[in-house]
A and B are shown apart, each in its own frame.
Chain A
Amino acid sequence: MNWYDILFYAFALITVVSAAGVVLSRNIVYAAFSLLFTFFGVAALYVLLSADFLAITQILLYVGGVLVLIVFGVMLTNRANKVEVKHGGLTLAPAVLVAGVIAGTLIGVLTTTKWPAASFEPYEETARPLGALLMTQFVLPFELASVLLLVALVGAVIIARREKARRV
């Protein structure tokens, strides 16, 4: 067992424990901050897989963007810490059904997939090939995604503006 194995298990433990915290916490603020450690653990696992660009993008987008917005939203909610996250028993049966189906599928995939064990290789640069591919082979999906984001952005502004105008 070398240092990389120990690091892997440490990061995997952080990811799993904090993910459990996100799901099981009754306090919505705790759940949001637990998500921080989940994202970090996942980013660290990406690094151990030599996917450095993906790891840093994960931190930049999920921690710097998504999570900050979630925490911002949670804090703007009055008495967010008093919100009871748990639902009544009425939704229990469909929830168990959906969760069971997903868990069954995942376990099925996990047991039937042949996991290729790659030997440990030093890092290769990933940013340059990724950028070249995005600008050549995948330029259409890339541009479509940016147009979609622009539409979402303009839509959000319009919705926010209209609400303000009506109030006045």
Chain B
Amino acid sequence: MHNFITQYLGTGFLGGLLSAVLPLLFILPYALVTIWLELKISAHMQDRVGPMRTGKWHGWAQPIADVTKLIQKEDIIPAAADKALYLLAPALVFTGAYAAYAAIPFSPAYIGADINLGIFYIVAVSAIVVLGILMAGWSSNNKWSLLGAMRTAAQLVSYEIPSSLAILAVVMVAGSFNLNDICAAQSGWFWNWFVFGKFPFLFITFIIYFIASLAETNRAPFDIPEAESELVAGYHTEYSGMRFAFFYLAEYGNMFVVAGVAAALFFGGWNSPFGVYLSGPVWGAFWMISKAMVLVFVQIWLRWTLPRFRVDQLMYLSWKILTPFALVNIFAVGLWVVLR
């Protein structure tokens, strides 16, 4: 089922390469569309119209113009920066964001690597992003960058715990770490989705996962790593041009990863909401990307609605609210699964 590409090109070098490159061909147009959406949505939420001129129709070409500008910009390396690590950090951050795409089931016929431990792998590789951000913050030799990097590490390490506990609750219900199997376990009409399963425990799980995943993407209300009013731009203060664009691309890539994981875990992934109607490999990709894009929209919506947390509020939310709730929840779901 999953070996759509390997069926035609084999498991050799060519098939592997194409499987690995395909998500990249998705990320680039997806990032352009989402940047435009973010510009327009934020504008309308603030009673503005946003970009209207570039490309005539509602400024649709604005992100293309922005990227063109970023490519042309000078690549500035601060004299006091640690050059080797400074150059490596954006690549590492993007690697961490991109590595997660390997295990996201885009459609019943395409998943980069159909491994048994897909969701466990996605949780693990997000650690690379943390290290990349720490590397960027330290090598910039700038106090704002360093403070931003420290905050990022503290935040990501704290929120990994409730998000992992939430994921484990779903894994217990589905009996598999493989995201393709988890999607397959939710087939049928939309009331089979896990967000409605074991009511209300998996719904609470979804809320916990979604809040924690917002923190993992470093976006408002969890954007203290790059809080503009305190830290200029946090860990990427010194970056310019394409290296800055890489951080930007990694952030949007991460947004889709957490939204895609949430869609696969709780909203049936590539399953059609209407049972067998409108299902199949291509419709599967349509449903998966649509569900993830709705969640990306919610992320944008929350970013432009809620104010930023303070550092202590951030830690309070993770350790004193989300983690205890997630623990009680996992116990309840486990009991339900055992007593079934």
Chain A interface residues (CB < 8 Å from chain B): 3, 29-30, 33, 36, 52-53, 56-57, 59-60, 63-64, 67-68, 71-72, 75-76, 81, 123, 125-127
Interface segment, one of B61-69, B127-135, B194-202: B127-135
List CB contacts (< 8 Å) of B115-149 with chain A: 115-117, 120-121, 123-128, 130-131, 134-135, 137-138, 146, 149
CB nearest neighbor in A for B154: A72
6 contacts between A and B (CB under 8 A): A60-B127, A64-B127, A68-B127, A72-B153, A75-B150, A127-B116
Task: Tell whether, in the assembled complex, residue A75 and residue B124 are in contact, meaning their CB atoms are under 8 Å apart.
Answer: no
Q: Which of B124, B128, B130, B149 has the most CB of A within 10 A?
A: B124
For B85, the chain A residues whose CB sits under 8 A away are 29-30, 33
CB contacts (< 8 Å) of A68 on chain B: these are: 127, 130-131, 134, 153, 157
CB distance from B154 to the nearest CB of A (A): 8
Report B37-72 residues with CB < 8 Å from chain A CB. Answer: none
Residue-wise interface mask of B (90-118) relative to A, using a CB-CB cutoff of 8 A (1 in contact, 0 not):
00000000000000000000000001110
**Chain A hits for B130, CB < 8 A:** 64, 68
Known: A29-B138, A56-B117, A127-B177. A67 touches B124 (CB 8 A): no
Known: A3-B12, A63-B131, A125-B116. 19 other contacts (CB 8 A): A3-B13, A29-B85, A33-B85, A36-B128, A56-B117, A56-B120, A56-B121, A56-B124, A59-B125, A59-B127, A63-B124, A63-B128, A71-B153, A72-B150, A75-B137, A75-B146, A75-B149, A81-B82, A127-B116
Give every chain A residue within 8 A of B126 (Cβ-Cβ): 64
In the bound assembly, the distance between CA atoms of A59 and B82 in angstroms comes to 26
How many angstroms from the CA of A104 to the CA of B37 in the assembled complex?
Answer: 63
- Please tell me which one of the listed residues A52, A63, A76 contacts residue B117 in the complex, with CB atoms under 8 A apart: A52
Q: Mark B1-44, 1 if CB is under 8 A from A, else 0.
A: 00000000000110010000000000000000000000000000
Nearest CB in chain A to that of B16: its residue: A3
Q: Give the shortest distance, in Å, between B235 (CB) and chain A (any CB).
A: 12
Cα distance A126–B12 in the bound complex, in angstroms: 24
- Size class of the B contact interface (CB-based, 8 Å): 20 to 34
- Return B277 CB to nearest CB of chain A, in Å: 33
A33 touches B116 (CB 8 A): no
Assess whether B226 is interfacial by the CB under 8 Å rule.
no
B157 touches A127 (CB 8 A): no
Residues of A within 8 A of B115 (CB): 52, 123
Which residues of chain A have C-beta atoms less than 8 A from B12's C-beta? 3
Contact assessment for B134 and A59 in the assembled complex, using a CB-CB cutoff below 8 Å: no
B251 at the interface (CB under 8 A from A): no
Give A81 to B80 CA distance when docked, in angstroms: 13
Is A71 within 8 A of B131, CB to CB?
yes
Partner among A3, A75, A123 whose Cβ is within 8 Å of the Cβ of B116: A123
Q: B131 contacts A52, CB within 8 Å?
A: no
Q: Max chain B CB contacts within 10 Å: which of A57, A75, A76?
A: A75
Residues on B with beta carbons closer than 8 Å to the beta carbon of A76: 150
Looking at B126, B134, B157, the one whose CB has the most chain A CB atoms below 10 A away is B134
Q: Is B160 an interface residue (CB 8 A)?
A: yes
Q: How far is the CA of A59 from the CA of B79 in the complex (A)?
A: 34
Q: Known: A56-B117, A71-B134, A75-B138. Is A64-B124 also a contact (CB below 8 A)?
A: yes
Closest to A125 in B: B116
How far is B149's CA from A33's CA once the two chains are assembled, in angstroms?
15
**Complex: A123 Cα to B121 Cα, angstroms:** 16
* Contact indicator B134/A72 (Cβ below 8 Å): yes
A100 to B57, CA, bound (A): 73
Complex Cα distance A59/B135, Å?
17
With a cutoff of 8 Å between Cβ atoms, the chain A residues found around residue B137 in the complex are 75
Give complex CA distance A126, B160 in Å: 24
Contact at B131–A33, with CB atoms within 8 Å?
yes
Q: B149 — which chain A residues lie within 8 A by C-beta?
A: 75
Q: How far is the CA of A28 from the CA of B123 in the complex (A)?
A: 28
Q: Which 5 A-B pairs have the closest CB atoms?
A: A64-B127, A60-B124, A59-B124, A63-B127, A56-B124
Q: Which residue on A lies nearest to B175, using beta carbons?
A: A128
Q: Which of B116, B117, B131 interacts with A36 by CB under 8 Å?
A: B131
- Give the chain A neighbours of B124 by CB distance below 8 A: 56-57, 59-60, 63-64
Q: Which residue of A lies closest to B120 (CB)?
A: A56
